[in-house]
Amino acid sequence: MSKANVIAVGTYPAWDQDAMREGYELTEVATPDDILDLTQEIRTGLRALALIGHKPLTGAHMDALPNLEIIANYGVGYDAIDDAAASARGIKVTNTPDVLNDDVADTALAMMLALTRQIPQGHAHIQTGAWQSGQRFPLNRQFSGGVAGIMGLGRIGREIADRLVAFKMDIHYHSRAPKPDAPSNWVYHATPESLAAAVDWLVVALVGGAQTENYVSRAVIQAMPEESILVNISRGSTVDEDALLTALETGAIRGAALDVFRNEPNVDPRFLKLDNVILQPHQGSGSVETRKIMSALQRANIDAQLAGEPLVTPVN
């Protein structure tokens, strides 16, 4: 049987390239816009699109692929894909939920611990010879205890909250509605401002996309107590970044732990001048183990579509 024509958009690890080259008649491009430069013959033959990365995939890109049946996203967040445009064209969209929950939650905890206990600075203190030459490492701040507020108690938010319980934190959260399966001693807040005002940690675990654009608004950031810290492992678009930067620069809040930014990877240079932040290059799901499972799920969705079988993790 001949292989189906599939396009891989974005930069994939070698093991994914190998698997896709083996399984499909593969066209590879770096960005969605590169689709528009392909010949009409190639574009017309393509039945499935495997997307990695966060560059927007729009209706105009879909229009260039008249026989496209499926867009399989490598990631749980599919805000880069215009899913309404896909649905309008009868194109299926899939994502990779659940398999990355542990990694993303671990990354949130790692950043929180690193920020309060000054782990990168401690490492530098030895690497630069400061400790060996008799300089004391400054005292830092306790991590365990206090109040954690989870903004968006979905699958990843829940994993973070469960971990923070082990660190003796009280859990507060804000979601569209109270979660029936949340422990009864977790405190629900009906508004993001109310949550922000009540916590030591504001952990953003919202989905991305238009509905959460600037959800952590200037008003939410201004509601945060002076000693509190903002953590974001979701999408840069969920936070008013200028308001956050101002709060960090003026000491209106204690700090921020960020794995995601607006305009990634072009991080606002104002962040680089701050010493009350820990910044990570959107690596929340970035372990070898999890990325292999994510890409296998991406291909399982493509394979199901090509075989006329039900999709594993559809979103539209």
**Closer to ligand 8YV at the Cβ: 4 or 7?**
7
Which tokens hold the place of 198? 């009540």
**Segment lying near ligand 8YV (by CB under 6 A), choices 22-30, 73-81, 162-170, 262-270:** 73-81
220 contacts ligand 8YV (rule: CB under 6 A) = no
**Closer to ligand 8YV at the Cβ: 75 or 146?**
75
157 contacts ligand 8YV (rule: CB under 6 A) = no
52 contacts ligand 8YV (rule: CB under 6 A) = yes
Is 264 annotated in the active site?
A: yes
Is 282 annotated in the active site?
A: yes
Question: Do you find a cis peptide bond into 265, omega within 30 degrees of 0?
Answer: yes
Is 235 annotated in the active site?
A: yes
53 contacts ligand 8YV (rule: CB under 6 A) = yes
Smallest gap from Cβ 74 to ligand 8YV, in A, equals: 5
Q: How far is CA 208 from the centre of its chain?
A: 8
Which of 235, 254, 291, 299 is labelled catalytic?
235
Sheet holding 92-94, edge to edge: 25-29, 5-9, 48-51, 70-73, 92-94
**Closer to ligand 8YV at the Cβ: 76 or 312?**
76
* Closest-CA residue to 191 (of 149, 161, 235, 233): 149
Among 76, 93, 115, 258, binds ligand 8YV (CB under 6 A): 76
Q: How far are the Cα atoms of 34, 50, 66, 134 from residue 60, in angstroms, in the given order? A: 12, 17, 11, 62
* Closest-CA residue to 209 (of 238, 231, 243, 242): 238
Which residues inside 93-112 make contact with ligand 8YV, applying CB under 6 A?
100
Residue nearest to ligand 8YV according to CB distances in the complex: 75
State the residue for tokens 């206990």: 117
